[in-house]
């Protein structure tokens, strides 16, 4: 059992990585497509390839951390200690192509974007998959909602800070180079990230069962026999396409198509902060009363209903309303994955007597990041459509993608809602333990 203080600093360690990942997700298309003028197909392809990198990284390092045993540092800590500084450095490099390239080198910029974003996600997977795999080993089921709540606080703050960071990037951006304000901000994020891991690395030591003779084939077989786990992977993959499209497109949408002023950017940031905070509270109440599946379906439907209006919206006032509902859906999705992965890992441990927290945390990277890669490539195709849509109130034109992204994202979210009707993501651990005990007793007899 963890003390309250341990729960806080373990959960809040996600703050720095959340800021970095959320800003990268929010700002990658804005930075390379809108500011650096990298063509949409190149931008989408670079982002897609980075998702394939994190897919390989999470699967590799999650399973290595299950099976690597060091006398002094245990299984999870070595990966965190090495990966965190490299993640921080690669995050800085993503926004610094001017240090290595000359302006106008499109092919060079494409390779630079691909390499730096891929490196960031490799090191993110190296750090965060072992770190998150630590959670079911450090905690009992009754503790996880509290730990997850602190992780959600960190994710919430990280999303808000990442949003304001991206807003500052849009406001202060120049065609080539990095304004000092952005550089100082990125360096501050790096400090937050590195300091955030320190208490957990120093103060936490407990780890779960070590598997001395790993069998990846057995791990796959055991996991894929759980129909609810497979169903969740399908639903999460569909959701990720819609959510990634929203996150990736929001800032180019309000910067290029709706041409928000500085004041409107600030209003948007405050609005998103308020919406996410309020709906976090609503969803946590709903989880206790109605369960995780109902709550997740509710949050997705709010977004599904609102997104098709991108076809007709031409004013900032209407956009604020649309983005509020979209933000509510994003908040709902961000609330769930960590506790769901931990629940499935704990369920498997009860039923098999073996510890596979790293596998259950990392295996979803295959379908999830595969779908994210598809989403990024689809984004590139959509935003490479002809520039025939007039910017409201101006004489310039933008691609048809600025109208079509909403309904396309909504289709994937609606399909996920349908899949979730067939999936149980609210396991009854007492019942599972009882059934497992009966099964063991029968075998003993």
Tell me which residue has tokens 């997104």: 307
pLDDT tens, 167-203? 899 888 877 888 899 999 999 999 999 999 999 888 8
Rounded distance between C-alpha atoms, residue 289 and residue 187, angstroms: 42
Q: Is pLDDT above 60 for 439?
A: no
Q: Are 158 and 14 in contact (CB under 8 A)?
A: yes
Q: Are 43 and 29 in contact (CB under 8 A)?
A: yes
Give the CATH fold of the 4-203+215-438 domain.
Growth Hormone; Chain: A; (1.20.1250)
191 CB-contact burial (10 Å; exposed 0-12 / middle 13-18 / buried 19+): exposed
Distances (CA, A) of 393 to 50, 257, 308, 337, 390: 36, 10, 22, 41, 8
Rounded distance between C-alpha atoms, residue 174 and residue 183, angstroms: 13
Rounded distance between C-alpha atoms, residue 303 and residue 243, angstroms: 9
Average pLDDT over residues 157-164: 86
Mean of per-residue pLDDT scores for the chain: 86
Tell me which residue has tokens 């800590």: 77
pLDDT tens, 239-296? 999 999 998 999 999 999 999 998 998 888 888 888 888 888 888 888 888 888 999 9
Rounded distance between C-alpha atoms, residue 257 and residue 32, angstroms: 16
Rounded distance between C-alpha atoms, residue 53 and residue 55, angstroms: 5
Strand spans (E) along 173-330:
none
Rounded distance between C-alpha atoms, residue 328 and residue 321, angstroms: 11
Highest average pLDDT, of 208-222, 303-317, 334-348, comes from: 303-317
Rounded distance between C-alpha atoms, residue 70 and residue 76, angstroms: 9
What is the model's pLDDT at position 441? 52
Q: Which of 21, 27, 33 lies closest to 380, judged by CA?
A: 33
Rounded distance between C-alpha atoms, residue 381 and residue 229, angstroms: 32
What is the model's pLDDT at position 430? 79
The SS3 of residue 144 is helix
Q: Which of 322, 102, 392, 340 lies closest to 235, judged by CA?
A: 340
What is the model's pLDDT at position 208? 52
432 CB-contact burial (10 Å; exposed 0-12 / middle 13-18 / buried 19+): middle
% of the chain residues with pLDDT over 70: 92
Q: Are 58 and 125 in contact (CB under 8 A)?
A: yes
Rounded distance between C-alpha atoms, residue 387 and residue 334, angstroms: 33
Q: Is pLDDT above 90 for 377?
A: yes
Return phi, psi of residue 272, to 5°: -65, -40
Distances (CA, A) of 346 to 135, 215, 219, 407: 10, 19, 14, 37
What is the model's pLDDT at position 118? 96
Tell me which residue has tokens 């982002």: 47
CA 445 to chain centre: 47
Rounded distance between C-alpha atoms, residue 22 and residue 365, angstroms: 17
Q: Are 361 and 208 in contact (CB under 8 A)?
A: no
Structure tokens at 113: 């974007």
pLDDT tens, 92-112? 999 999 999 998 899 999 999
pLDDT tens, 29-80? 999 999 999 999 999 999 999 998 988 888 788 777 777 777 777 778 888 9
**Angle (CA) 364 370 371, round 5°:** 95
Q: Which of 359, 345, 355, 370 lies closest to 432, judged by CA?
A: 345
- pTM for the whole structure: 0.80
**What confidence tier does 90 reach under pLDDT thresholds 50, 70, 90?**
very high
Distances (CA, A) of 360 to 66, 67, 363: 10, 14, 6
Pairing of strands 397-398, 389-390: antiparallel
């Amino acid at each position: 059992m963890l003390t309250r203080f341990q729960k806080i600093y373990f959960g809040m360690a996600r703050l720095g990585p959340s800021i970095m990942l959320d800003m990268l997700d929010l700002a990658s298309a804005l930075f390379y497509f809108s500011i650096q003028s990298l063509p949409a197909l190149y931008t989408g392809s670079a982002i897609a390839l980075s998702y394939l990198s994190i897919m390989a990284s999470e699967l590799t390092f999650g399973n290595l951390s299950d099976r690597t045993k060091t006398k002094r540092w245990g299984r999870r800590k070595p990966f965190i200690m090495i990966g965190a500084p490299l993640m921080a450095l690669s995050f800085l490099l993503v926004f610094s192509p001017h240090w290595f390239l000359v302006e106008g080198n499109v092919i060079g910029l494409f390779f630079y974007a691909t390499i730096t974003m891929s490196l960031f996600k490799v090191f993110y997977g190296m750090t965060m998959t072992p770190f998150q795999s630590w959670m079911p080993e450090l905690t009992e089921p009754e503790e996880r909602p509290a730990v997850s709540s602190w992780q959600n606080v960190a994710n919430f703050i990280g999303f808000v800070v990442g949003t304001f960071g991206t807003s500052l990037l849009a406001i202060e951006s120049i065609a080539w180079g990095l304004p000092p304000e952005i550089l100082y901000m990125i360096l501050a994020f790096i400090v937050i990230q590195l300091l955030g891991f320190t208490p957990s690395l120093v103060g936490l030591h407990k780890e779960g069962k070590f598997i001395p003779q790993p069998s990846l084939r057995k791990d796959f077989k055991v996991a894929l026999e759980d129909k609810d786990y497979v169903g969740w992977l399908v639903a999460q993959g569909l959701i990720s396409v819609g959510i990634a499209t929203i996150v990736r497109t929001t800032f180019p949408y309000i910067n290029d198509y709706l041409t928000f002023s500085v004041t409107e950017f600030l209003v948007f940031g405050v609005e998103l902060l308020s919406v996410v905070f309020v709906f976090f509270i609503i969803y946590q109440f709903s989880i206790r009363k109605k369960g995780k599946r109902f709550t997740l379906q509710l949050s997705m439907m709010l977004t599904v209903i609102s997104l098709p209006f991108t076809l007709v919206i031409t004013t900032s006032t209407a956009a604020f309303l649309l983005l509020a509902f979209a933000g509510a859906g994003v908040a709902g999705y961000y609330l769930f994955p960590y506790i769901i992965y931990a629940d499935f890992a704990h369920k498997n441990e009860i039923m098999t007597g073996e510890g596979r927290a790293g596998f259950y945390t990392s295996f979803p990277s295959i379908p999830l990041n595969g779908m994210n890669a598809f989403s990024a490539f689809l984004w590139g195709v959509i935003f490479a459509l002809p520039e025939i849509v007039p910017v409201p109130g101006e004489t310039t034109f933008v691609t048809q993608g600025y109208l079509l992204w909403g309904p396309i994202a909504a289709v994937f979210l609606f399909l996920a809602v349908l899949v979730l009707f067939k999936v149980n993501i609210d396991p009854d651990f007492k019942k599972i333990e009882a059934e497992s005990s009966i099964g063991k007793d029968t075998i003993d007899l």
